[in-house]
Amino acid sequence: MREKSVRRALRALLRSMHEAGKARSRDLRGTPAPRRASASNLLDYLALRRHDLRHLQLVLADLGLSSLGRSEAAARASLLAVLRVIERVEPVSAQPRGNEAAAVPSLAAGRLLLHQRSQELFGPATRAERPRIMVTMPTEAATDPALVRRLVTSGMEIMRINCAHDSPREWGAMIRHLRTATRSAGRSCRVMMDIAGPKARTGPLEPGAQVASWNPPRDEVGGLQRPAKIFLFPRGVPVPLNRTLPPDIDEALPLDEKFLASLRRRDRIDFRDARGLAREMTVVGRGSCSFGPLLDPVAGVVAVSPHAAYVVPGTALTSPRASAIIGPLPSVPRSILLFEGDLLVLAADQSPGRDADPAEKGTHAAASREHRAARIPFTLLQVFRDARVGHRVMLDDGKIAGEAIAVSPRRILVRITVARPEGVRLASDKGVNLPDTPMTLRALSPRDRQDLDFVARHADLVGFSFARERDDLRDLRRELKRRGASRVGIILKVETARSFENLPHLLLEGLKAPSFGVMIARGDLAVEIGWERLAEVQEEILCLCEAAHTPVVWATQVLESLAKKGLPSRSEITDAAMGHRAECVMLNKGPYVVRAVRALQDILRRMEGHQSKRRQLLRALHVAERFATDA
């Protein structure tokens, strides 16, 4: 009797595939013939996953049959294979779905299609069963060809350049270093350029005080380990506000050029710092310093100081032969300290933001609420049109959470609902997520269209952020075609609740591109859907992408502690091993990123014999039901 009930259940599932295929036949239109089998299989898989199959899986396992737990790559063929065994007859015929129907992929063909798509997108693999390794470039990669060379020889197979940072000058230098390194090593490495998209961020804050400081490191009993190294340079030299200093320089001070010319080796320079403390520094020689990647070095004087000091513009310095005052200094970046219960205004006005008066923090009377609130500009102006009272507001990767309690065309008043007991500081240029707010803006921003000019000439892949609708993918493909770059592969970044809920539609559209993949951008995605749902949601994304024979990039915080601090956590090792279920794993930048690449190579190699993709219980998928109701 069990065999008969199982046979009926399997035939019912097969019928649901046929019916769903007829209802959604329009989704196959325009899909190139080589990719139509993948689109067809995705429709089959979505029809299958509308049902809760866990009880059927148990019965199939009791009968010694496939439990359908690996049916993603060939959903219909998996059902037919089980039916053949149960009926002990010739294969059950698969009903066609009309003139536009594609051939139903076999079990072997489904696995092969995913392998072929990975080769097309990421290039040849050193080992067929091992995911590729993608690495995000730090700014230093533009000026340090040795770093790029070490990454290539350690196992990097895709260079990721984030267009939200640096400029075409730095991007071009990174790519030139990569081409040199791959030729020298005899290896291939593709370039992915990640366009920024309409990322919502906090705007500028009021500038802080102009101050420079240094604090030489000391041992546990206060002994000086090394003096601070101070670079003294001519005050007329134009220095960018966001200057960066080399690792061996602790601070840089602008001074009169005549004063610098008078200094000799071993000269002592005396001054009183901003606290009125007597301090000194000693000249050790002349040298040069660059205040940023690709900026020309500036000539100056190098001095050392044994004590901590704070100096401001106008601080007087005295040497044996001359005296001078310190010139303008960069402002210290300010931030807003927020506690649970505080009020924060997100403002369309881009004038610098400010903290609330400390005496008024925690005061929430209805009158003058905005007057009592901290204020920060908000870069994505469309949000003021789309947000509503009650919508959640997540700040700085979810470190701070709040709720909109008042919305106007130029203001959103937010009450902070989640923050650490000691408070959390909110700075400028931090990400803002509004998971409940249905954004009406397009995924390609004017800045993205400008960056695509460079991408089209230099990149193999483009990372596409914040795509929510099929039209977003169509828009990107049109822009690439206009630039003669239809060959550039597209990596769809799933990082919003809307892009996850709409993933079946996005996959069907993506299959029309010559080369297409999906990145699980777990940082923003976790903020949008809630941390507790991330594990479940990333499983669903992996399943749907395998059903569409679409390669996946496993991204965000992989071996992050190792890359940034030189030592991984135990949970990071497990997470990196889980990346074996994808076709590519992405590492972010950090001082120890080369070590992280080598460690990831080793972890993935060790996982080869233990796991290939995944086996799972087939409960009904929310996105499959949602897709069916969209018909």
We report the CATH number of the domain holding residue 360 as 2.40.33.10
Range of the structural domain that residue 523 is part of: 117-199+440-607
297 and 376 housed in the same domain: no
Indicate if the pLDDT at residue 609 is higher than 70: no
CATH number at residue 469: 3.20.20.60
381 and 451 housed in the same domain: no
What tokens were used for 623?
């996105």
d(CA 229, CA 597): 32
Predicted pLDDT of residue 184: 95
- The sign of the CA dihedral 83, 84, 87, 93 is positive
41 and 95 housed in the same domain: yes
DSSP for 455-475 reads HHHH-SEEEE-S--SHHHHHH
* Coil vs helix vs strand at 509: helix
Residues 450-488 pLDDT 10s: 999 999 999 999 999 889 999 999 999 999 999 999 999
In a domain, 157, yes or no: yes
392 and 494 housed in the same domain: no
Give every CB contact of residue 199 below 8 A, 6+ residues apart in sequence: 164, 380, 431, 465, 466
d(CA 218, CA 215): 9
Predicted pLDDT of residue 363: 44
d(CA 570, CA 150): 26
Find the angle CA(419)-CA(421)-CA(425) to the nearest 5 degrees: 55
Q: What is the mean pLDDT of residues 411-421?
A: 95
In a domain, 614, yes or no: no
Which of 404, 409, 414, 408 is closest to 373 using CA atoms? 414
345 and 375 housed in the same domain: yes
Q: How many CA atoms lie within 13 A of 501 on its CB side?
A: 12
In a domain, 450, yes or no: yes
Which of 403, 433, 463 delimits the end of a domain? 433
449 and 414 housed in the same domain: no
What tokens were used for 488?
């550039």
Give every CB contact of residue 17 below 8 A, 6+ residues apart in sequence: 43, 44, 47, 48, 75, 76, 79
Integer Rg of the chain from CA = 29
d(CA 303, CA 269): 9
- The pLDDT-based confidence of 516 (bands split at 50, 70, 90) is very high
In a domain, 127, yes or no: yes
Indicate if the pLDDT at residue 406 is higher than 90: yes
Predicted pLDDT of residue 168: 94
Indicate if the pLDDT at residue 91 is higher than 80: no
**Tokens 């230099």 — which residue?**
458
d(CA 495, CA 619): 24
- The pLDDT-based confidence of 621 (bands split at 50, 70, 90) is confident
Length of the chain equals 631
Number of compact structural domains in the chain: 4
Residues 363-380 pLDDT 10s: 444 334 555 689 999 888
Residues 228-247 pLDDT 10s: 999 999 998 888 777 888 88
429 and 510 housed in the same domain: no
* Coil vs helix vs strand at 193: strand
DSSP one-letter code for 495: -
DSSP one-letter code for 200: -
Which of 362, 356, 351, 366 is closest to 406 using CA atoms? 366
User: By the 8 A CB rule, do 124 and 157 touch?
Assistant: no
In a domain, 613, yes or no: no
Predicted pLDDT of residue 308: 96
Predicted pLDDT of residue 607: 82
467 and 593 housed in the same domain: yes
- Which comes out higher in pLDDT, residue 136 or 220? 136
User: By the 8 A CB rule, do 233 and 252 touch?
Assistant: yes
Indicate if the pLDDT at residue 106 is higher than 80: no
d(CA 498, CA 626): 12
61 and 88 housed in the same domain: yes
Which of 432, 435, 507 is closest to 469 using CA atoms? 507
461 and 520 housed in the same domain: yes
What tokens were used for 196?
């920024």
Bridge-based pairing of strands 268-272 and 516-521 is unpaired
- The pLDDT-based confidence of 207 (bands split at 50, 70, 90) is confident
Q: Which one-letter amino acid corresponds to residue 617? A: L
Predicted pLDDT of residue 426: 95
150 and 132 housed in the same domain: yes
In a domain, 291, yes or no: yes
Judged on CB neighbours under 10 Å (0-12, 13-18, 19+), 583 is buried
User: By the 8 A CB rule, do 406 and 387 touch?
Assistant: no
pLDDT, mean over the chain: 88
What tokens were used for 128?
């067929």
Which of 613, 555, 557, 551 is closest to 583 using CA atoms? 551
* Coil vs helix vs strand at 452: helix
Residues 10-56 pLDDT 10s: 999 999 998 888 888 888 888 998 899 999 999 999 999 999 988 88
State how far the alpha carbon of 185 is from the alpha carbons of 148, 218, 221, 247, in Å. 11, 42, 48, 29
Give every CB contact of residue 58 below 8 A, 6+ residues apart in sequence: 67
Q: Which one-letter amino acid corresponds to residue 202? A: T
CB atoms within 10 A of CB 118: 23
Predicted pLDDT of residue 312: 96
- The sign of the CA dihedral 132, 136, 141, 147 is negative
CB atoms within 10 A of CB 368: 10
- The sign of the CA dihedral 403, 405, 407, 413 is negative
Whole-prediction pTM: 0.82
Q: What percent of the chain has pLDDT over 90?
A: 61
DSSP one-letter code for 628: H
Indicate if the pLDDT at residue 121 is higher than 50: yes
d(CA 340, CA 421): 8
Q: What is the mean pLDDT of residues 3-13?
A: 87
End-to-end Cα, the chain, rounded Å: 36
192 and 256 housed in the same domain: no
- Which comes out higher in pLDDT, residue 512 or 126? 512
The values of phi and psi at residue 158, to 5°, are -140, 125
Give every CB contact of residue 501 below 8 A, 6+ residues apart in sequence: 623, 626
Find the angle CA(167)-CA(169)-CA(170) to the nearest 5 degrees: 70
Bridge-based pairing of strands 268-272 and 278-289 is antiparallel
Which of 102, 130, 136 is closest to 27 using CA atoms? 102
Which of 325, 346, 376 delimits the end of a domain? 325
Indicate if the pLDDT at residue 83 is higher than 70: yes
In a domain, 510, yes or no: yes
In a domain, 330, yes or no: no
